[in-house]
Copies of this chain bind each other. A is one copy, B any other.
């Protein structure tokens, strides 16, 4: 790619994202939807200006790292742990129900082969943590109890999603599953998530010192982004998604971080927290929309044959299965029906994780064009409509 071509494409991404985000915000809808729709419009589905290549995918990955960092920064671990049991139950149901629904519809209703059905089940598992948290932030509900349950569940979901993808991939390609390896990965991830924020916390005094003693400019953004990258890479090494590393980095630097025993670590000055927020916010705001535009541009709706009745039958049933099976997970939430419903709906969007599954399935010949098109369609639908529904159902929730 020529430099000026890259600049032009980056320009189109930034401007279209901002334009549609503003329009959606004006209509009182989650602006993240505007960004995804900007991606669908400039992507292969409509205009075909942007077909995300390696560089834009990598910039998008920085965006999602930064978003999860910011979410971590605003996360109160104590409050998250308080709703931990509800989160876990929501997550477990949110994994089992869609996996079962996907498998059942594929295998029993449409008589698809066993491996294909398994893979479709896996595809319907992972909640898009990115879409979900951005919607909650956009509609200003990210500090509600529902949001805390959903965040915990989405994080767990994401881990389980990656583990399931690994297992299914092994099974589909090699014909066997290495249980010991899988158990190891789960163990590593658990240990990592428990100790990463604590160990990171120990480096906060160093960051604080470097940011005041510095002789060059830009110490804070460089240190914070380096920290995010280190934890993302370690997270990847232990077998977890990179975004969990940046989430851990955010938690470690959160103002309200405290040890499970109830004692807070108070090396962390209020001053540093403010400086981090001030310096990181412009960078976060620049990169995050790139992620959602790339998600939109990764959805190629042209693969979908909208004139085929057969397609509508299959896609319709899968969409219902994908939505209902996630909504079921809301039953575990304490409170009125509305809380259960909003939690269930918040778990619905599949976004980028579903697309990754679909790509892997297609590349390895597990999904044919029809199944691939159905998955892309289901992902697009859950990504776009769950946020809309959430916007209306969570009105007034605190």
Binding site for B on A (CB under 8 A): 1, 3-4, 6-8, 10-11, 14-15, 17-18, 21-22, 25-26, 31, 54-55, 57-58, 61, 65, 214-223, 225-226, 229-230, 232-233, 236-237, 242, 278-286, 288-289
Contacts and interface: CB of A to CB of B under 8 A. Distances in A.
A-B interface, 3 closest residue pairs, ranked by CB to CB distance from nearest: A218-B285, A25-B215, A4-B236
A58 B6 contact: yes
B221 A285 contact: yes
Contacts of A283: 221, 282-283, 286
Nearest to A11: B229
A286 B286 CA distance: 12
A226 B11 contact: yes
Given A54-B54, A222-B286, A216 B31 contact: yes
Contacts of A285: 217-218, 221-222
26 contacts: A1-B58, A3-B61, A3-B236, A4-B232, A4-B242, A6-B58, A7-B236, A10-B229, A11-B226, A11-B230, A14-B222, A18-B218, A18-B219, A18-B222, A18-B223, A21-B216, A22-B215, A26-B215, A31-B216, A54-B54, A218-B284, A218-B289, A221-B286, A222-B285, A222-B286, A283-B283
Contact of A7 (B221, B229, B281): B229
Contacts of A230: 11
A225 B286 contact: yes
A233 B18 contact: no
Given A214-B22, A229-B10, A1 B221 contact: no
B54 A242 contact: no
A216 B3 contact: no
Nearest to A3: B61
A52 to B, nearest CB: 13
A53 B181 CA distance: 34
A31 B215 contact: yes
B54 A233 contact: no
A107 B349 CA distance: 68
A31 B219 CA distance: 13
B26 A233 contact: no
B218 A286 contact: yes
Contact of A232 (B7, B14, B25, B222): B7
A110 B21 CA distance: 62
Nearest to A35: B216
A238 to B, nearest CB: 11
A14 B226 contact: yes
Given A7-B229, A279-B282, 16 more contacts: A1-B54, A3-B58, A7-B236, A11-B233, A14-B226, A17-B222, A22-B216, A55-B55, A218-B286, A218-B288, A220-B282, A221-B283, A221-B285, A222-B285, A222-B289, A278-B278
A18 B282 contact: no
Contacts of A8: 229, 233
A283 B236 CA distance: 26
A283 B278 CA distance: 12
A57 B10 CA distance: 15
Contacts of A289: 218, 222
A278 B275 CA distance: 12
A3 B242 contact: yes
A286 B214 CA distance: 15
